[in-house]
A and B are shown apart, each in its own frame.
Chain A
Amino acid sequence: MRTLGIAWTIFVKDLRVEWRSRETLASMCVFALLIVFLFNFAFESAREETLRLLPGLLWIAFAFAGILGFNRSFAAERENACLEGMILAPIDPSAIFLGKMFANLLFLTVTEALVVFAAALWYNFSFLPSLGRFALIVFFGTVGYVALGTIFGAIAANTRMREVMLPILQFPIAFWILILGTDATSDVLRGNTAAFAAGAARVAGVSLVFAVVSFLLFEYVLEE
Chain B
Amino acid sequence: MPPETSRAETALELRGVSKYFGDLAALRKVSVRIERGDTVLVYGPNGAGKTTLLRTLATLARPSEGQVFFAGQDLHQNAAAGRAAMGFVSHATFLYGELTARENLRFTSRLFGLREPVKRIEAVLELFSLRERADEPVRGLSRGLQQRVTLARALLHDPTFLLLDEPFTGLDAASRENLESLLRRLPEQGKAVVFSTHDFDQGVSLSRRLVAMEAGRIRYDGPLNLAPLASLHIAPAR
A residues near B (Cβ < 8 Å) are: 2, 5-6, 9, 13, 16-17, 20-21, 76, 79-82, 84-91, 223-224
What residues of chain B lie closer than 8 Å to A84, measured between beta carbons?
60, 90, 92, 94
For the complex, give the distance between the alpha carbons of A91 and B97 in Å: 22
Which residues of B pack against A, CB within 8 Å? 58-62, 79-81, 83-84, 86, 88, 90, 92-99, 103, 107-108, 110-113, 137, 153
Contact yes or no, A89 B92, CB < 8 A: no
Name 15 extra pairs, CB < 8 A, besides A79-B97, A85-B94: A5-B110, A9-B107, A13-B96, A20-B98, A21-B98, A80-B96, A81-B94, A82-B95, A82-B96, A84-B60, A84-B94, A88-B86, A90-B112, A91-B111, A224-B60
Q: Are A90 and B80 in contact (CB under 8 A)?
A: yes
When distances are taken between beta carbons in the complex, the residues of chain A under 8 Å from B95 are 80, 82, 85
CA distance A91 to B90 in the complex (A): 20
Closest B residue to A80 by beta carbon equals: B93
Cα A81 to Cα B89 with chains together (Å): 11
* Beta-carbon nearest neighbor of A84 in chain B: B60
Q: Which residues of A contact B58 (CB under 8 A)?
A: 88
Complex contacts, A17 vs chain B, CB 8 Å = 96, 98-99
Q: Are A80 and B94 in contact (CB-based, < 8 A)?
A: yes
In the complex, A87→B90 CA distance in Å?
13
The A contact surface, by secondary structure, is helix
Contacts of A87 in B (CB 8 A): 59-60
A13 vs B111: C-alpha distance in the bound complex, in angstroms?
A: 11
Measured between beta carbons, the chain A residues less than 8 angstroms from B112 are 89-90
Establish whether residues B108 and A89, one from each chain, have CB atoms under 8 Å apart when the complex forms: yes
20 contacts between A and B (CB under 8 A): A5-B110, A9-B107, A13-B96, A13-B99, A16-B99, A17-B96, A80-B94, A80-B95, A80-B96, A81-B94, A84-B60, A87-B59, A88-B94, A89-B112, A90-B79, A90-B80, A90-B84, A90-B111, A91-B80, A223-B62
B97 partner residues in chain A, CB cutoff 8 A: 79-80
B22 to chain A, nearest CB (A): 13
Q: Which of B80, B90, B110 contacts A9 (CB 8 A)?
A: B110
List of 3 A-B pairs having minimum Cβ-Cβ separation, nearest first: A85-B94, A81-B92, A89-B111
